[in-house]
Structures are given as structure tokens and as C-alpha cells.
Amino acid sequence: MTAVLGASTPLAVEQEPGRVGLRRAMSAEWTKLWSVRSTMWTLVATGIAVVGLATLSTGARSATDIVDDPTRLSLIGIFLGQLIFGVLGVLVISAEYGTGTIRATLSAVPRRPVVLLAKVLVFGAVALVVSEVFTFIAFGVGQAILSAKHAVGPSAAIAQHAHQLGLKVPPKLKGLLPTTGSASLGQPGVLRAVIGAGLYLAVLGLLALGLGTIIRHTAGAIAAFAGVVLVLPLIVQALPTSISNAVARYLPANIGLVMFSTNGLPDRVGPAFSPWAGFALLVFYTVVILALGCWVLVRRDA
């Protein structure tokens, strides 16, 4: 079109003959994500929840307490953080329906799966980076508090016991056995648990995005998300043990618990998947929800 009405900037993109694609859509989503204050505020609130609860839960331990799993104790704030993070995931798409900008978005990028994929990749990447930062901070803060208290951890107790019995601890293992109830990243399973906590948080954010895509209404999608992570575990707990033992391991919240524990689930929860098997299942849930969301997005009028 001839440039008029103030159109002095040449618009032609001869160097890009193709069409609106994933890269452009992602660039738009990036701008969208950071141009509203709610993004920063929900991320900050998630950080406060994750790190703040690490401080509280570890700070509440006395020096003589035996800490079952110091890593898990410092990461327990994930369960609060996931709710706030879920809100952000939902908002990534539900805010577009609430404000009507979805029409502008889909006019600019008519291939709807591309729009959803762009949202998943951009929000997913931000979620992952931010989650990992939060979980590492929470772990560091929590362990610093525990080690300052010299609380006695189970491995430390074992080490002391072994020493008293005159058993020889192999030098290789010596470094792994802490003298207090705090954990360090070098101990078995600890790094995996801290990374796993961040992965769990990020994937749950994407699960929330999927729910938002299906439900479209902010309040409804948040309620559904809270139902999955909060209400479902309560229902399962209320079931007879034989059933709850069979079902509990499939719950996202329990998968998360295993992922950021170094010694499996607490006994009360029953049998569980291994951390990575659980994670694979969680990713599978999320992919299914997102695929359903994509189907709804393509099929239903905007």
C-alpha cells in the first residue's frame, strides 16, 4: 500500500518473505508479558512465598529437632508459591479474553496453535528461570538457617551412630554426611531436589496456562487450578487407605513433593513414583491439558 496518512516508515519486509510465525508471535508475547504490572507483582509474590516459607519453616526448628529432610523443609514454600504462580499462568491467556485483546492477538496471528505455542514457550521459559532462581534462593536461605541452629539431621545422626559403633565410614562418603541437619548441594539427591522444585513450579504454571486456555475466565480457571493442587489431595486423603494409596501418587502435589524431597514421600502419603517418573507424568498431564486448550482455541469462536 502506498504510504500515506503519516505512514512515512516503510513497512515492507522484503527480507522476510514468509509469514507471521512463531518467532514473531513469541516477540509479541514477550512484550505482552512484561508490559503489565501484574506479571512482576505475581512473580515477586511467588518469590516471597517460596523464600519466606523457607525462612519460617526452617526457623521454627529448634536445635535438637531431627529434621527428616532438610532440603524438603526449605522448599515447602513451593506449595504456596504454586498458587500465585498458577494465577499468573492463567492470566497469560484469560486476561486476553477478559479484556478483548484476544481478538487483536488472533487478528495479528491467525494461526491459533502458533499463538498458544508462543505463549507456552515465552511464559514457560520465564517461569522456569524464575522458579529455579526462587528455589535455589529458598534452599540457600533455609539451609543457612538450619546450619546456624545446628539441628541434627538423620544422616548426621547415622554418621554419629556409626562413629560410636566404631564403624569405618568410607572417605568418599565422609564428605556427603553432614554434621548438622542442614543439606548441601553436594549430597545425594539434593541438587536434583532443588532443580526438581523449580521444574515442578514451572510446569504447574504451564498447567494453569492450559486451564486458562480451556476455561477462558480468570476466576473459573484459577478455581480449577486450585481444585487440582489443593482440593484433589484433600479428597484423596478422605478416601479409604487402600484407594488413597493407589491414587495419591498420581496427584500433582504429591509428584511435586517427591520431586523436591531427597528421601521420597513421608509415610503418611503412601507409595510414590520416583522423582523423574513423577515429573514425566506431570509433564504428560500438562501436555494433555495444553493440547485440549489448543483444540478449544482452534474450534471455538474467539
Partner 1 sequence: MIEARGLTKRFGDVVAVDDLSFDVRPGTVTGFLGPNGSGKSTTMRMIMGLDAPAAGTVSVLGRRYHDLPWPLREVGALLEAKAIHPGRSARAHLLTLARSNAIPRARVDEVLELVGLTSVAGKRAGKFSLGMGQRLGIAAALLGDPGVLLFDEPVNGLDPEGIRWVRTLCKNLAAEGRTVFVSSHLMAEMALTADHLVVIGKGKLIAETSVSEFVARSSRQSVKVRTPAPHQLVDAVTNAGGQVIDDPDGSLTVTGLSAPEVGDLAASIRVALHELTPVASLEDAFMELTEEAVEFRGGQ
Binding residues (CB under 8 A) for partner 1: these are: 1-11, 13, 16, 18-20, 24-25, 27-32, 35-38, 95-96, 99-101, 103-111, 301-302
Among residues 27 and 64, whose Cβ is nearest to partner 1? 27
- Give residues with Cβ within 8 angstroms of 148, minimum separation 6: none
Shortest Cβ 30–partner 1 spacing (Å): 8
Among residues 107 and 242, whose Cβ is nearest to partner 1? 107
Among residues 13 and 165, whose Cβ is nearest to partner 1? 13
Q: CB–CB of 90/219 below 8 Å?
A: no
Shortest Cβ 121–partner 1 spacing (Å): 14
Shortest Cβ 23–partner 1 spacing (Å): 10
Q: Which CA distances in Å does 145 have to 70, 108, 213, 256, 274?
A: 11, 51, 41, 23, 29
Q: CB–CB of 179/255 below 8 Å?
A: no
Shortest Cβ 184–partner 1 spacing (Å): 42
Give Dmax over CA atoms of the chain in angstroms.
90
First to last CA, the chain: 28
Shortest Cβ 38–partner 1 spacing (Å): 6
Element (H, E) at 138: helix 112-149
d(CA 103, CA 79): 35
User: How far is Cα of residue 55 from the mean position of the Cα atoms in its chain?
Assistant: 19
Among 230, 203, 177, 204, CA closest to 70: 177
Residue with cell 543457612: 144
Shortest Cβ 47–partner 1 spacing (Å): 20
Among residues 168 and 299, whose Cβ is nearest to partner 1? 299
Q: CB–CB of 156/180 below 8 Å?
A: yes
Among residues 7 and 243, whose Cβ is nearest to partner 1? 7
d(CA 282, CA 206): 11
Among residues 102 and 228, whose Cβ is nearest to partner 1? 102
Among residues 20 and 281, whose Cβ is nearest to partner 1? 20
Among residues 1 and 234, whose Cβ is nearest to partner 1? 1
152 DSSP assignment: B
Shortest Cβ 35–partner 1 spacing (Å): 4
Shortest Cβ 78–partner 1 spacing (Å): 27
- Give residues with Cβ within 8 angstroms of 58, minimum separation 6: 70, 73, 74, 141, 142, 143, 145, 146, 149
